Amino acid sequence: MGFSTIPALEDNPLTPEGIALGRWLFYSPALSSNGQVSCATCHPASRAFSDEAPLTRRGVSGRPLARHTPALVNLAWMEGLFWDGGLKNLESLSLSPLTHPDEMGQADLGALMARLSASPETVQRFETAFGPGGLSLGNLLKALAQFQRTLVSADSPYDRWRRGEPGGDLSPLAQEGFALVQRHCTPCHGSELFTDNAFHNNGLDARFGTGEDLTRGRGRITLRDEDAGRYKTPTLRNVARSAPYMHDGRFATLDAVLEHYRHGMVPSTTLDVAFQRGAAPPGLGLEDGEKAAVLSFLEALTDESFLTNPPLGPPGPG
C-alpha cells in the first residue's frame, strides 16, 4: 500500500523491547502528576487513539483542552505533528502532553524520573530495552515514539479491495464514493495515507488569533499571516471512528463535515484555493445524491483489526 515498512531511524531503531516499554508507558498513569491519567486516557485504541469529546476534560486539571485530541494513525509517515505542526518528530511528541498543566501535569520532569527510578520493576523494564543505566527521560521519549510508530492501519475493507484480497468487496456505493473522493478531496487527502501532511484553511472561521494564539493555527508556528487559520490535514483512515471532527471538534458527525464542505464554508483571506469557486460561495461541488456514496466509502476506511489489535491495547500484568 506504499507504507508497509516502518521507516528506520538510526538514533532510535525499533526493537521488540523498546516497543514493549513504550506500550507499557503509553498505558501507565504513573506518568501523570496525579497518577490517574495515561496517554491512553485521551487516546483509546477503539477510537483510533482519539477522544469522543470535542475538547477533552480527561487531563489532570479537569479543564477542557484548547484543541480536539487528534487520532494517532500511521504516525511513522506523518510530517508536522499536532494540529499546527509545532513538532517535527515523534521523539519530542510526548514531552508536550507530559508537561502540559491540563494534560499530564508534570511540572518537574526530574521528580518524575526520580519516582520512576524508585521502582525496581520500572528500572528493569528500561534496562531490558536500553541496557544498564537505561532509565532516562530521553529513553522514555524514545520508547513512547517506538510504540507510536507501530500504530499502523492498512487493513481496512478498502485496502483489501485494492489488494484483491478476500473481505475486500467494496459495495458499488462505496466505489462511487471512492471516485468522488478522488475527484474532490485529493488536494488535501491524496495518497494511500489519505493526508498530504500539509496545512490548509478549510473555511471554518473568518477571523483568527494573533501571535502565538492557538486559534491562529499554523500561523502561530510560522508567524506568517498567510498561514493563519491553516491546520494539519488529518488522515481519513478510521475517520468514521474518530468523531468529532476538526481541530476543535466542532462537528459531531461526518454528515455535518460534508455539509460544511458543501454549504458552510466561511470566506477569509487565507482560504485554501481548492475551495474557491470565483463568484460562487466556497466549497466542494458535491451534489445531494453523492453524499451517501462518500459516507459509504469513508466507512470502508475503518480498519477493525487496527482498532482491536491486542498488541496495541493495554499490556497484561508482568
Question: Could you tell me which residues are annotated as the binding site?
Answer: 39, 42-43, 185, 188-189
Q: Give phi and psi for 55, each to the nearest 5.
A: -135, 100
* C-alpha to C-alpha distance for 315 and 318, rounded to whole angstroms: 8
DSSP letter assigned to residue 65: P
* C-alpha to C-alpha distance for 115 and 264, rounded to whole angstroms: 50
Long-range contacts of 33-39 (CB under 8 A, 24+ apart): 33/60, 33/104, 33/105, 33/106, 33/107, 34/60, 34/105, 36/60, 37/103, 37/104, 37/105, 39/94, 39/97, 39/144
* C-alpha to C-alpha distance for 45 and 241, rounded to whole angstroms: 10
Where residue 200 falls (left for φ over 0; alpha for ψ -120 to 50; beta otherwise) is beta
Which residues line the annotated binding site for heme c?
39, 42-43, 185, 188-189
Q: Which residue has the cell 510526548?
A: 94
Q: Give the residue among 230, 296, 286, 231 at the shortest CA–CA distance from 259.
A: 286
Beta carbons within 8 Å of 245's beta carbon, 6+ residues apart: 68, 239, 251, 252, 254, 256, 257
Cell readout for 283 is 466549497
